[in-house]
Structures are given as structure tokens and as C-alpha cells.
Amino acid sequence: ELPEHQRGDAVSSMVYEANARVRDPVYGCVGAISSLQQQIDMLQTQLALAQAEVVHMRMRHVTNSPENASPSSRSHMSQLSHQAKSLFSMDMVDQHHHNMEEDDSLWG
């Protein structure tokens, strides 16, 4: 009952779902989606940690040359400090995620 222009996508979807069910008889597509979501979460955490490291390195650079710091760069340093504190809290999230991966062997 689908319009003709959507039939190809519907067949592709059914083939994908059937192949996913063959690879994972219990979870099928849901297992694949869940695995991809975990990868996204892990990569977002890694990105946040890398951004925090950049902020930390910038702060060290600015604090190592305070004689060159203008009032605006001191304000910028304060902003970087605030960003670093919020981003470094991601360490706890990363550790929690790592512990979950060790406990959860369903996703490979």
C-alpha cells in the first residue's frame, strides 16, 4: 500500500532488519541501534575530555605568562577556568561509562 517512490526504501529497511535479526536473534535492529548509541555516547565523552584538555592547556599557557596578561585576557582566563571545571567533571562520566562497558557484554 506504499506509494511507489517509497517501496525501495521499505524493501531496504526490511532487508536490513532481517540481516540484523540474523546477526543478533534476540535484539535485532534494537541491538545495533543500542550499540551505535553507546558509541556516540563514548565519542561525545572523549570529545568533551579533549576539549577540557585544550582549555587546561590554554589556561596553563596564560598562567605561565601573567606579565603579558591584559585585563581582557585575565577575564578570558577566568572563563577558561570555569569551562575547565565543568568539562573536567566529565572524567566521572567517562569512568562510569567504562565501568558499564565492563559489566555489559551483550553489545560486544
Could you tell me the three cell numbers for 15? 532487508
Measured distance CA(90)–CA(55) in Å, rounded: 13
Is 93 contained in some domain?
no
Is 34 contained in some domain?
yes
Is 77 contained in some domain?
no
Is 51 contained in some domain?
yes
| pTM of the predicted model as reported, rounded to 2 decimal places | 0.50
Could you tell me the three cell numbers for 12? 531496504
Task: Give the domain extent around 58.
Answer: 8-64
Is 27 contained in some domain?
yes
Largest CA distance in the chain: 74
Structure confidence by residue, pLDDT tens digits, 19-75: 999 999 999 999 999 999 999 999 999 999 999 999 999 998 888 765 555 555 556
Residues 6 or more apart whose CB falls under 8 angstroms from that of 90 comprise: 45, 48, 49, 52
Question: How many domains in the chain?
Answer: 1
Measured distance CA(88)–CA(57) in Å, rounded: 13
Is 86 contained in some domain?
no
